[in-house]
Amino acid sequence: MGILMDINFEFYFITAFRLLLACILGGLIGYERESMNRPAGFRTHILVCLGAALVMLTSQFIFEKYKGITNIDPARLGAQVISGIGFLGAGTIIREGMSVRGLTTAASLWAVSCVGIAAGIGFYEGAIIAALVIYLTLIVLKKLEISFAKKRQLNILYVKTHNIPGQLGNIGCLFGKHDITIKNIEFLNSDDDNDALIKFLVKLPGNVKKEDIIGELQLIEGISKVYEE
């Protein structure tokens, strides 16, 4: 009886450890997405990673329970996670005009499901290293994107404004007056439902100063804040 209790204790400890590790690693990546105001953020990544880990634990449990009795592939359930996570990733992809948002978040969801699978089966080294690499990729490459934009004489401006009809047109008219080319427009989540946070990727002519444009934007009625990245 004592041996059985020790075995059960070890089993429960390993199960709890793997699920907790999946929560931490998934939350690490989800925190970065949450800070970027993405639709799939902190809790979503934790749930995906935790669910994937549980699937692999269940698969391993079934294999250990029935090995020698019947042929069971312990990787079968994990394969369904890898293919099935696509529907959740697709829900984060949004097409706005000529631009597409959410591809990075969709990719991070798929990657974090693989991290969960690794944590669930006990491949701790792979799960931890992969989570750190994913996190660093999201952070470092974001800075590289900004650096590339600056080298191409592109500027990223954030405009926080009240939801007023025609406000986007007012901003566009100001840009047009100074021959500023709008490369991309992205609508981000705002803390207040009455406000809108708009991200502009613009190319300024050589004779136009960015500080002057920010100052003129702040003079438009309804705009509460303008800042650059």
Residues 6+ apart with CB under 8 A from 95: 101
CATH number reported for the structural domain that contains residue 162 in this entry:
3.30.70.260
Structural domain of residue 14, as residue ranges?
2-147
Are 160 and 217 in the same domain? yes
- The angle formed by the CA atoms of residues 10, 12 and 16, to the nearest 5 degrees, is 120
137 with 209, same domain?
no
pLDDT band at 80 (very low <50, low <70, confident <90, very high): confident
Residue 95 β-bridge partners: 100
Q: In this structure, are 26 and 126 located in the same domain?
A: yes
Q: Which of 96, 124, 147 is the last residue of a domain?
A: 147
142 shares its domain with 189? no
In 3D space, the residue among 60, 53, 59 whose CA is nearest the CA of residue 127 turns out to be 53
d(CA 92, CA 218): 32
Q: What is the pLDDT of residue 227?
A: 86
**Could you tell me the pTM of the whole model?**
0.52
| Residue 64 and residue 21 in one domain | yes
Indicate if 197 and 93 belong to the same structural domain: no
Same structural domain, 139 and 161: no
Number of domains making up the chain: 2
Q: Which pLDDT tens digit goes with each residue over 158-200?
A: 999 988 888 888 898 999 998 998 888 888 877 777 788 888 8
In a 3-state reduction of DSSP, which class is residue 45? helix
Say whether both 28 and 122 belong to one domain.
Answer: yes
